[in-house]
Structure 1
Amino acid sequence: MMKRLRVTPGPVLALTAVWLATRALMAWLLTHDGSPLLGGGAVPREVWRLYAHWYAVLTHGAFPAHDSMWQYPPGAGAVLLAPGLLPGLTYFQAFVALTLAADALITAALVRAGTRPGRSLLGAALWTCGLPLLLQLPLARYDVLVTAFAVVSLLALTRSARAGGVLVALGALVKVWPALVLLGTPRGPATRRTWGWAVTTGGACLALLAVSFDNSLAFLGEQGGRGVQIESFGGTALNLARHAGWPGRPIYQYGAIELVGPYVHGVAGLSLALTAAAFGLLVLWRLRARHWNPATPYDAALAAVLLFTVTSRVISPQYMIWLVGLAAVCLTSRHTGQRPVAVLVLAATAVSSLAYPVFYGEVIDGTWTGCLLMLTRNGLLGAAAVLSFVRLWRSARTPAGRTSPATEPRPDSDRLPGRALSVS
């Protein structure tokens, strides 16, 4: 019989106090962000101008077709409609309230996971203290709600194949990338059930949205037309090329600052090729992996999202929310190999908030200060991606991660393995 560890309430109460204090500060920054150092009011503009506009379109039963800034899967429509369910609040107020609720849900899930035997509260601490590094930005983007699906689904995977699969599908319908959390589930019947539930739920919800709304797949055309965003790896290289005489310039299109000029299409094509290569590496890892430990699904999700992020044509500052959330899930397990990766992610998050909104004008103008900030942020992300994948590869190729069954809850017929196992 496994002896259950007693958890003192002190750390949980301390995390609760820190969460309340930091979220109050983030909310205050959001309502007092007229200062140029906080974006001059640009950060919340996406909610009360863009999201509210899409809300008005969605309430008439259609997705915003022919809108170059609508690049989201149809599940995003449900998220953007949700603030209308809160009476007595403006759209902006209701959106921020839902974002804070999702943030609280993530924190509670991480605390609950961290207080189980063999687990750690470091994940909850990382999320609680790491998200405020992005200042007020997380409260004015719907990425916190997307991250909630990914975090809760990952934590559910080791306990229920059904719940994990359903939550993954819902997250993927909102912003695609949560589907990557399925990458690290160990081979076996429970994983087949998880993937089956994900496909079934995703297909059913997609069909329901297609019947309920017009233009449900309109986002595909706009997503394909995106160029090279100024904060991506390719955008940083082109920004540096401006100092060597490259004649390109930044413009606002597809909801972001992108660079236009000679060689941009080539850089965009290279990014897509690198993304395909990253996908190939992840598939190769899955095919050759032989050993799983309780943290492998978490570590694989973080490595996958890091690789897809650094090879993308777009690295918006809100992408850091995803990485902080996944790094936090990894740290809930004492078996994770991603602790140094989590440190790099935190450092990149802090630098990202300097690049946007604090010195975003410098980034757009391509000054040496702006270029140095982006080189630092992207360098940290690149190092995190490489280190994350290398550690994932090594942990799954050697049996060193084998653990005692007493360190994790015993799986049942509908649960993924909670201890290390070999797969032939």
Structure 2
Amino acid sequence: MNRLRVTPRPVLALTAIWLTTRALMLWLLTLGGARLLGGGAVSREVWRLYFHWYGVLTHGSFPVHDTLWQYPPGAGAVLLAPGLLPGLTYFEAFVTVTLAVDALTLAALLRAGTRPGRSLLGAAVWTGGLPLLLHLPLARYDVQVTALAVLCLLASARSPRAGGVLGALGALVKVWPALVLLGAPRGRPTRTAWGWAGWAGLACLALFAVRFTHPLSFLREQGGRGVQIESLGGTALNLARHAGWPGRTRYRYGAIEIVGPYAQAVATASLALTAVAFGLLVLWRVRARHWTEATPFDAALSAVLLFTVTSRVISPQYMIWLIGLAAVCLTSRHTRQRPVAVLVLAASALSTVAYPMFYGEVVEGTWAGCLLMLARNGVLTAAAVLSFGRLWRAARPPAGKTVPPTQPRADSDRLPERALSLS
């Protein structure tokens, strides 16, 4: 007689917590006009900016000569998705789609966490970490792109092909998910994942080029971005204002930037640091000899953290990416990123205090605003340094053992590539 499969109590508990916290996030969204909740600025991006782009996209073109459009063509598909839900306003449909994708991400993490030798801690981090950002995740499409990155990593453990395709789709929505394939085990898993990612990306770009005009219009708007007030460089320049530096804030490219003498030099320095971060990741990749099931997850979190802290722009929604990647890491009992995940959650909470709660203080450059951003960015920088350090040390073979470069110790190198499970 077949036994009925009983759902573990932790799964039921996490599901109940997810329902409760998402209801609270929806409630906060309805109160978004309150001053401490941003005075309506959080939700305005959906019903004004996203809806405007939706109108342009429905006419078969990507936005052209729009300084706010800085996203790859895959973002257009995400912004068009709410139009598939009849009977709802664009804002209502967008939030509904976001919640559905949020639930899908939780389901994937729960499935991964209930496998033998895995942990439900990752699902707990996603469930409890996202509400730290209040209602912001429901009014940005970063939940959707994070879901693609999460699914890419979980799928890659059993099917590098599926992981490569999902990674390509994520990169076409926002470029950063391309980084999650960095930790694929050396050898055939890497060639398979990167190869399928390349072909899937080219195929999707071809489809966008056939269906829409100006699919690469976003490229011309990226180079002109300056130093956002919430970045590490922006924090330094904001503090410099208290020492007499004559800079000021200005709304450009969809964000508050700091302009003035040496601001462009700071922006250039940020790009240089990003290049250094990329070089460190390549060096790790070349020298790494020891892989576990957690290595691809840990490498993804470390890579995105390094690119985040060296960016000219550290918007609060970036924390959604880091929460999602930290959650994937914690599905494995072999991860080295547990303390990093704690720092990511702390930085998320500080981000919420900065935006939307006291964003006026940050923009004005008061001591309170400067110290708040210094704390948030300091925690993020510590997380990035700690994450890469632990990733680097974990790449060395255990004492007394040698792992040949062509024979990575990774489960994904032994599992059949045709399996398309998500974890």
TM range, smaller chain: over 0.9
TM-score (norm 1): 0.94
Residue 188 of structure 1, CA deviation: 1.4
Matched residue SS, 1:320? helix
User: Which residue matches 2:130?
Assistant: 131
Q: Within 1, Cα distance between the matches of 2:103 and 2:400? A: 32
Describe how 1:170-209 pairs up with structure 2 within 5 A: 170-209=169-208
Q: Within 2, Cα distance between the matches of 1:248 and 1:165? A: 44
Describe how 1:121-270 pairs up with structure 2 within 5 A: 121-270=120-269
Amino acid of the structure 2 residue aligned with 1:256: A
> Please, which of 395, 414, 417 is the counterpart of residue 414 of structure 1?
417
Amino acid of the structure 2 residue aligned with 1:291: H
Matched residue SS, 1:250? strand
User: Which residue matches 2:27?
Assistant: 28
Matched residue SS, 1:259? strand
Q: Within 1, Cα distance between the matches of 2:203 and 2:297? A: 27
User: Which residue matches 1:420?
Assistant: none
Residue 185 of structure 1, CA deviation: 0.5
Describe how 1:243-392 pairs up with structure 2 within 5 A: 243-392=242-391
- Residue segments in structure 2 that go unaligned for 5+ positions in a row: 404-409
Deviation by residue 1:239-277 (Cα, 9 ceiling, x = unmatched):
000101111111111000001111010000000000000
CA contact (8 A) 2:301 2:326 kept: yes
Q: Within 2, Cα distance between the matches of 1:266 and 1:409? A: 44
Amino acid of the structure 2 residue aligned with 1:41: G
Matched residue SS, 2:257? strand
Where does structure 1 differ by over 6 angstroms across 4 or more consecutive aligned residues?
400-403, 407-410
Residues 24 and 240 of structure 1, relative CA distance in 2, 3 Å threshold: same
Q: Within 1, Cα distance between the matches of 2:6 and 2:276? A: 44
Q: Within 1, Cα distance between the matches of 2:350 and 2:178? A: 27
Amino acid of the structure 2 residue aligned with 1:412: L
- For the aligned residues, what is the CA RMSD? 1.8
Q: Within 2, Cα distance between the matches of 1:367 and 1:188? A: 52
Amino acid of the structure 1 residue aligned with 2:348: T
User: Which residue matches 1:64?
Assistant: 63
Residue 31 of structure 1, CA deviation: 1.1
Residue 162 of structure 1, CA deviation: 1.4
User: Which residue matches 1:393?
Assistant: 392
Matched residue SS, 1:257? strand
CA contact (8 A) 2:158 2:416 kept: no
Deviation by residue 1:291-316 (Cα, 9 ceiling, x = unmatched):
00110000000000000000000000
Residues 315 and 284 of structure 1, relative CA distance in 2, 3 Å threshold: same
Q: Within 2, Cα distance between the matches of 1:337 and 1:40? A: 40
Matched residue SS, 1:216? coil
Q: Within 2, Cα distance between the matches of 1:149 and 1:107? A: 12
Q: Within 2, Cα distance between the matches of 1:223 and 1:205? A: 21
Residue 415 of structure 1, CA deviation: 7.2
Q: Within 1, Cα distance between the matches of 2:385 and 2:94? A: 36
Q: Within 1, Cα distance between the matches of 2:96 and 2:399? A: 45
Q: Within 1, Cα distance between the matches of 2:400 and 2:116? A: 17
Amino acid of the structure 1 residue aligned with 2:211: S
Matched residue SS, 1:65? coil
Residue 398 of structure 1, CA deviation: 3.0
Q: Within 2, Cα distance between the matches of 1:415 and 1:335? A: 25
Q: Within 2, Cα distance between the matches of 1:400 and 1:130? A: 36
Q: Within 1, Cα distance between the matches of 2:334 and 2:415? A: 21
Residue 401 of structure 1, CA deviation: 12
Q: Within 2, Cα distance between the matches of 1:342 and 1:94? A: 32
CA contact (8 A) 1:118 1:408 kept: no
CA contact (8 A) 1:190 1:415 kept: no
Matched residue SS, 2:395? helix
Deviation by residue 1:173-217 (Cα, 9 ceiling, x = unmatched):
000100001100111112211111100000010111012111111
Q: Within 2, Cα distance between the matches of 1:99 and 1:262? A: 41
Q: Within 2, Cα distance between the matches of 1:258 and 1:153? A: 33
CA contact (8 A) 1:126 1:324 kept: yes
CA contact (8 A) 1:292 1:401 kept: no
CA contact (8 A) 1:69 1:255 kept: yes
Deviation by residue 1:73-131 (Cα, 9 ceiling, x = unmatched):
01100110110000000000000001001100110100000000000000000000000
Q: Within 2, Cα distance between the matches of 1:216 and 1:134? A: 32
Q: Within 1, Cα distance between the matches of 2:286 and 2:65? A: 41
Q: How many residues align?
A: 409
CA contact (8 A) 1:117 1:408 kept: no
- Residue segments in structure 1 that go unaligned for 5+ positions in a row: 1-5, 417-424
CA contact (8 A) 1:146 1:175 kept: yes
Residues 413 and 111 of structure 1, relative CA distance in 2, 3 Å threshold: closer
Q: Within 2, Cα distance between the matches of 1:95 and 1:15? A: 24
Q: Within 2, Cα distance between the matches of 1:244 and 1:327? A: 38
CA contact (8 A) 2:226 2:267 kept: yes
TM-score (norm 2): 0.94
User: Which residue matches 2:80?
Assistant: 81
Residues 281 and 87 of structure 1, relative CA distance in 2, 3 Å threshold: same
Residues 232 and 7 of structure 1, relative CA distance in 2, 3 Å threshold: farther
Residue 412 of structure 1, CA deviation: 2.6
Matched residue SS, 1:44? helix
Matched residue SS, 1:258? strand
Q: Within 2, Cα distance between the matches of 1:75 and 1:401? A: 47
Q: Within 2, Cα distance between the matches of 1:410 and 1:397? A: 19
Q: Within 2, Cα distance between the matches of 1:408 and 1:173? A: 28
Q: Within 2, Cα distance between the matches of 1:298 and 1:35? A: 38
